[in-house]
Amino acid sequence: MDEKVSQGDSTQLPFVAPCRILPALAPLDWVRQGWRDMWAAPRQSLTYGAIVVALSLALATIAVRFGGYFELLALVSGFILVAPVLAVGTYVISIHLERGEKPSLRRCLREEQRAVGNLMVFALMLMVVFLVWARAGSAVHVFFPISEATDWRDYLTFFAIGSSIGSIFAAVVFSAAAFSLPMMVDRKVDTVTAVVTSINAVLRNKPAMAVWAACIVLAVAPGFALLFIGQERGGGGLAWVMTGLGLTLPLIGHATWHGYRATVDAGQWPPNEVTGGV
């Protein structure tokens, strides 16, 4: 590839891996490669998708039964924040395919254990962010108009405040998670280094990352929209949710791996013993 590599300060090398400067539409190629990987190992990929879908439906059921639709919205949004951890298995599948090997769920689980310590630290960080986000989401309710004389401008203010707060949390988590998880699976690197590398790569590739974020939203939004419709109609439409999210979440996971490979030059860190940096 001809992408420019930004090496940065020599004093930063122990803390951040160099990143390539990518064209804005590079994420579209990641999606294409992710689609190829998903159908090269459909049973393994769709199993991960089914697990994520089952968890999302369980969260929705709990939220609606013991709370309401505001709680459902908060849980769904928070679940989007922590879902990248659940996609780690798809990175291992893509590694196997790169090496010309046949993936298996048993091998994927075994190889994930190589990075389980750092992944749990990252998951804990995401959980803290989610809890703070949930608290902030509850506080936004005070701006909800309850007067009978309200008009659309009052609702617009409420949604603008809520969207602004949510966007801040989403941007922080997106930047930290974009490339850190595949890097921890691929290389012997600590959580801080992986997160700083991911943030650095995102900041240096803002146009491409904007396209990538749009791809993620377009992939998961229809499934969650159907989830709300299904809950509203007493369970109807849940089969469409299973089909939609079960396909798109593994696709995003595989595409994330290819995005990491295209963006981050982590060659200075030793590979994990089993995955072996391909």
Model pLDDT, residue 260: 96
List, run by run, the mean pLDDT of 10-residue segments along the chain (278 residues): 44 73 96 94 86 71 61 55 69 90 79 73 78 74 66 71 79 90 89 93 96 87 58 49 72 94 91 57
Residue 115's identity, in one-letter code, is A
Model pLDDT, residue 228: 52
Question: Within 15-115, where are the H helices?
Answer: 26-40, 42-66, 69-86, 88-98, 105-112
Model pLDDT, residue 220: 72
The answer to whether 91 and 256 have CB atoms below 8 angstroms apart is yes
Model pLDDT, residue 67: 59
pTM (predicted TM-score): 0.77
Model pLDDT, residue 248: 84
CA 62 to the chain's CA centroid: 22
Structure tokens at 269: 């860190």
d(CA 201, CA 26): 14
Structure tokens at 133: 């986000």
Task: Report which of 27, 45, 31 is spatially closest to residue 246, judged by C-alpha positions.
Answer: 45
How big is the chain, counted in residues? 278
d(CA 108, CA 91): 9
d(CA 185, CA 177): 13
Range 160-164, long-range pairs (CB < 8 A, 24+ positions):
162/137
* 134 contacts: CB under 8 Å, gap ≥ 6: 74, 75, 78
d(CA 32, CA 157): 39
Model pLDDT, residue 106: 77
Tokens 């600590």 label which residue?
A: 190
Q: CA 30, 35, 39: angle at the middle one, nearest 5? A: 150
The sign of the torsion formed by the CA atoms of 92, 97, 100, 103 equals positive
Model pLDDT, residue 273: 62
d(CA 108, CA 245): 21
> For residue 271, which phi and psi values (nearest 5 degrees)?
-70, 155
